């Protein structure tokens, strides 16, 4: 599980590494172009029900921390979809539960 730190938040937002890798590419591409946008996520089942949103813009510090040393494999189709959503008026919306399930499946079980 990785972590996204935004602004002066010391706790960060826990995000599965695979998702964080894709978000990093989309977010940094948009911010490099000085394009602000909204990132919204539905809370995972361990959190109180609801959703959170961030207004991402270039002047606010941003840090991506990954739990794995090796880079994640990126999926071009997913990057395109995330970019399309980030460019929409609604911004990019993520369902954390979908990604937590993908993350669980990627971790080999102990024998």
pLDDT in tens, 29-81: 999 999 999 999 988 777 778 889 999 999 999 999 999 999 999 989 889 99
Phi, psi of 19 (to 5 degrees): -65, -45
Predicted local distance difference test score (pLDDT) of residue 101: 66
CA distances from 58 to 13, 29, 31 (A): 18, 11, 5
CB atoms inside a 10 Å sphere around CB 24: 18
Nearest-angstrom CA–CA distance, 80 and 57: 20
Spatial distance between the Cα atoms of 107 and 15, rounded to a whole number of angstroms: 15
Model confidence, pTM: 0.84
């Amino acid at each position: 599980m990785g972590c996204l730190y935004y602004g002066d938040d010391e706790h960060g937002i826990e995000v599965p590494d695979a998702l964080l890798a894709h978000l990093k590419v989309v977010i940094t591409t948009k911010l490099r172009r000085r394009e602000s946008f909204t990132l919204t996520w539905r809370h995972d089942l361990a959190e109180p029900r609801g959703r959170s949103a961030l207004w991402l813009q270039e002047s606010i510090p941003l840090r991506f921390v990954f739990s794995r040393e090796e880079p994640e494999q990126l999926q071009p189709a997913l990057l395109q979809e995330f970019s399309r959503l980030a460019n929409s008026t609604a911004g990019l919306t993520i369902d954390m539960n979908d990604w937590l399930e993908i993350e669980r499946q990627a971790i080999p079980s102990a024998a």
